[in-house]
Structure 1
Amino acid sequence: MVKAIVGANWGDEGKGKITDLLAEKSDVVVRFQGGANAGHTIICDYGKFALHQLPSGVFYSHVTNIIGNGVALDAAKFAQELRHLEEGGVPAPKVIVDLRCQLLMSYHVLLDTCEEARLGGKAFGSTKSGIAPFYSDKYAKIGIQVADLWHEDRLRAQVEHICELKNVLLEHLYHQPPLEPEKLMEELRGYRTILEPYVGDGVTFVHQALKEGKQVLLEGQLGSMKDPNLGIYPMTTSSHTLAGFGTVGGGVPPTAIEDVFTVTKAYSSAVGAGAFVSELFGDEAEELRRRGGDAGEYGATTGRPRRVGWFDAVATRYGCMVQGTTQAVLTAVDCLGYLDEIKVCTGYEIDGKVTRDFPVPALLDRAKPVYETLPGWKCDIRGVTDFDALPQAAKDYVAFLEKEIEVPITIVSTGPKRHEICYR
């Protein structure tokens, strides 16, 4: 059986904790897309860890963790994370890097950085992790598969082809020194050394696990709004953030996915540029940002202050719909205990008309939020594990959101720690 865990919104929904929770009862955890541009923060018995490349099952000795073919693999960061786990006292995890996975290279980071600088005020708010150039190369068929590392002639031919193309851009558009094939070959030999103990056929492994009746968990990065097809294009990421892509990037059959857990926060947050209809500003935003999450609303990868706002039911209902959600998970409810009143965006006004349907990106900049106001509960609920023990106003808030997003909210998180959870 396959379960998927994905985000309903812009990412930063608290998926790391929920993935960690579900990984406890899984045999295989597969990271199926994205790169080191977004992280999952996990607080477990070993301490607090920010994962960017490794799947969130690495804290369990019974779990095999797979970095799937859809991932942008930064080998240096992969090695750094493994070291970080070791230094934190975590036993060496079981990891398979799929041979079909492709390598994020130093020139991807360079090109990403140069392009954001060139765009200036029109930049996408990239983390400059090389993600867009990586996926551009993958689909232009000038990427480098992990398997290529053990086929030097094939590798060298691809590297020379890459240099020929990239050096035109670097010289004439970005005014940077050209790439040197031999230096890239050295970089790749270093990656071969790092990855050699971990590479394997992730696709065959997953299919065999399913034949044996094992539990497989697909772990997604970011959320629905960041998908390049169904999100807020072009202010998206460059990989597909939807559970459906797990059938490609994770190598599982579509018929095997039985449960899609979609995570959303009790308020909204986002990193990066682009439309954000329910956004708050000034002191109101700063107060929510300061109280949000475990250490405030600052990006796990960049440390950037996240943009914050009221819960957006229009975006979340759409986000759950395109994910194929079977169960929604509501996180960070405990962060709202200081508020007298809590607003929820239940509609968008566009050109004088109110809609409950999430619009295409071309209309989104004209959308104004339509709010309903609910009473706050004005007390600390952090760590409560019995839903019935919550204040009535908090239970009513969850019920209201559930009605608005039109999928059952089965898990409510009341704090950052692993078992600060209420089941409904």
Structure 2
Amino acid sequence: MLTAVTGINWGDEGKGRVIDLLAENADVVVRYQGGNNAGHTVVAKQQKFVLNLLPSGILHENVICILGDGMVVDLEHLTNEIAQIREKGVVVTPNNLKLSKRATISMPWHKIQDELEETRLAKTGAAFGSTKRGIAYAYSDKYRKKTLRLGDLLHLKEESVQNRLKMMLEAKNLELAGCYYQEPMSYPALLSWCEAQAAELWPYIVDTGAYLEEALKEGKRVVLEAQLGAMRDIDYGIFPYTSSSSTISAYGPIGAGIPGKQLDHAVGVLKAYSTCVGAGPFTAEKAMPESWMELLRKFGGEYGAATGRPRRVGPFDAVASRYGLKCQNADKIALTKLDVLSMMKEIPVIVGYKKGNQEVTDFDPIEDLEEYVPIVRMLPGWQTDISGCVTYDELPDAAKAYVETLEDLLQHEIQFISVGAERSQYLTKGEWL
């Protein structure tokens, strides 16, 4: 069975939590796009794990984890991430972690370019809110055919690879010197860097597409893990405030390395309220005063897993969520962090937008979203701890009414609800996976 877990909104919906739970019954978990510019936070073994590149399934001993074809991989970051979770007792070997030979390498200059350009744009107030981890530049060079793939690390002694490396470096030095007045980088230093990465990671680099084809043929359960959400998709998100890859479920099999396969399920993950990291339009933050948002941020621990930046927050946005649900074509919905709302006497929900005197119920990411203001409906809160609830019927009536209001606005059943940060603190309703 092939299942993708995707974000319906801006990212940070809690996908890592859902993937971690699905991994209990999975054989393989695959990251299929993105890089280390975002992260999944998972609480397991009485510890908190922040995973930027490694799939969330790495916390399960019997699960094979894969970094797929569609990713851009910062090799030094990956090595450090492996070392950090090993220190917490997690086993990572070539037996349970496999790196696609087709995945793109994030080269040393990509982070340099990202930081230099974001700094330049910030002077005019036009910065994108980049994490400065080089993701856009790694993807850009992928499509310009001016970077290496992981499989190239296995062939560094070959003349063809070395010639390509020299060509790439020459072009990059011209860019960095001409645009940003940087000193040129040397070929011997670059080759030495590549050799050091190859020495560290070569046992992990394989044809992961062939591995996945065989796993599916044997009837194994494969979970595809997305980074970020529909609003950050390069084609369907709020351009140009997007990531540089496709975050939607339809890309899952392609980015995983099995383009001929179809998904059996797409799980769309929603948070019980709205959050956003980075720049760009975010209508939800216009709904409530800053004091309300700061309280929500505090109780929800809303700080970026990769950057530590405070997240922009607001009420649940039904308009944006309907659009994200359509993009992800999700047949299952997981709602996370319902427990965070337990301290509220009244809970706001965005049911529409207004532009002047016109009411808007459909989300269009290429419209000037800054002109829209939210239409808010207030729902009664439950003001009691729900973290111990293990069935839907145990939830307070007001909490059930909140969930059912979201279902009505989305025109879709919610089958999974998290009521706390621990693995065991969730409940299901309807037909879950």
TM-score (norm 1): 0.97
Match in the other structure for 2:338: 333
What CA distance in whole angstroms lies between the structure 1 residues aligned with 2:411 and 2:330?
Answer: 10
Pick the aligned partner of 2:397 from 392, 397, 421.
392
| CA displacement, residues 20-69 of structure 1 (integer Å, 9 cap, x when unaligned) | 00011110100000101101011112621100111111111211111001
| CA displacement, residues 250-306 of structure 1 (integer Å, 9 cap, x when unaligned) | 0234543111111010000111000001114521111110000xxx11111111000
Counterpart residue identity of residue 291, structure 2: D
Match in the other structure for 2:174: 168
Match in the other structure for 2:197: 191
What CA distance in whole angstroms lies between the structure 2 residues aligned with 1:259 and 1:200?
Answer: 27
Match in the other structure for 1:78: 78
What CA distance in whole angstroms lies between the structure 2 residues aligned with 1:382 and 1:87?
Answer: 30
Counterpart residue identity of residue 346, structure 1: V
**CA 1:412–1:254: 2 relative to 1, 3 Å:** farther
Pick the aligned partner of 1:110 from 112, 123, 142.
112
2:322 is aligned with 1:317: yes
What CA distance in whole angstroms lies between the structure 1 residues aligned with 2:403 and 2:260?
Answer: 31
Match in the other structure for 2:98: 96
Aligned residues: 421
2:244 is aligned with 1:238: yes
Between stretches 164-173 and 316-325, larger displacement belongs to 164-173
The runs of 5 or more residues in structure 2 that have no matched partner are: none
What CA distance in whole angstroms lies between the structure 2 residues aligned with 1:119 and 1:92?
Answer: 40
- Residue 66 of structure 2 contacts residue 100 of structure 2 at CA under 8 Å; is this kept in 1? yes
Secondary structure, in 3 states, of the residue corresponding to 2:321?
A: helix
TM-score (norm 2): 0.95
Q: Map 1:15-414 to 2 at 5 A.
A: 15-45=15-45, 47-92=47-92, 94-120=96-122, 121-152=125-156, 153-253=159-259, 255-279=261-285, 280-292=288-300, 296-414=301-419
Between stretches 376-385 and 106-115, larger displacement belongs to 376-385
- Residue 148 of structure 1 contacts residue 154 of structure 1 at CA under 8 Å; is this kept in 2? no
RMSD of Structure 2 on Structure 1 (CA): 1.2
What CA distance in whole angstroms lies between the structure 1 residues aligned with 2:152 and 2:120?
Answer: 33
Counterpart residue identity of residue 284, structure 1: W
| CA displacement, residues 313-360 of structure 1 (integer Å, 9 cap, x when unaligned) | 011111011101001110000001111111111111124221211013
User: How far did 1:168 drift?
Assistant: 2.1
| CA displacement, residues 101-157 of structure 1 (integer Å, 9 cap, x when unaligned) | 111111000000000001012101001010000000011111201111122222221
- Residue 333 of structure 1 contacts residue 412 of structure 1 at CA under 8 Å; is this kept in 2? yes
User: How far did 1:160 drift?
Assistant: 1.5
Match in the other structure for 2:4: 4
Secondary structure, in 3 states, of the residue corresponding to 2:9?
A: coil
- Residue 46 of structure 1 contacts residue 89 of structure 1 at CA under 8 Å; is this kept in 2? no
User: How far did 1:224 drift?
Assistant: 0.3
**Percent of aligned positions that are identical:** 43
What CA distance in whole angstroms lies between the structure 1 residues aligned with 2:253 and 2:4?
Answer: 10
- Residue 350 of structure 1 contacts residue 363 of structure 1 at CA under 8 Å; is this kept in 2? no
Between stretches 382-391 and 301-310, larger displacement belongs to 382-391
Secondary structure, in 3 states, of the residue corresponding to 2:412?
A: coil
User: How far did 1:220 drift?
Assistant: 0.3
- Residue 340 of structure 1 contacts residue 378 of structure 1 at CA under 8 Å; is this kept in 2? yes
- Residue 266 of structure 1 contacts residue 311 of structure 1 at CA under 8 Å; is this kept in 2? yes
Match in the other structure for 1:417: 422
**CA 1:254–1:266: 2 relative to 1, 3 Å:** farther
- Residue 154 of structure 2 contacts residue 202 of structure 2 at CA under 8 Å; is this kept in 1? no
Counterpart residue identity of residue 290, structure 2: G
What CA distance in whole angstroms lies between the structure 2 residues aligned with 1:273 and 1:399?
Answer: 31
What CA distance in whole angstroms lies between the structure 1 residues aligned with 2:188 and 2:46?
Answer: 42
Secondary structure, in 3 states, of the residue corresponding to 2:367?
A: helix
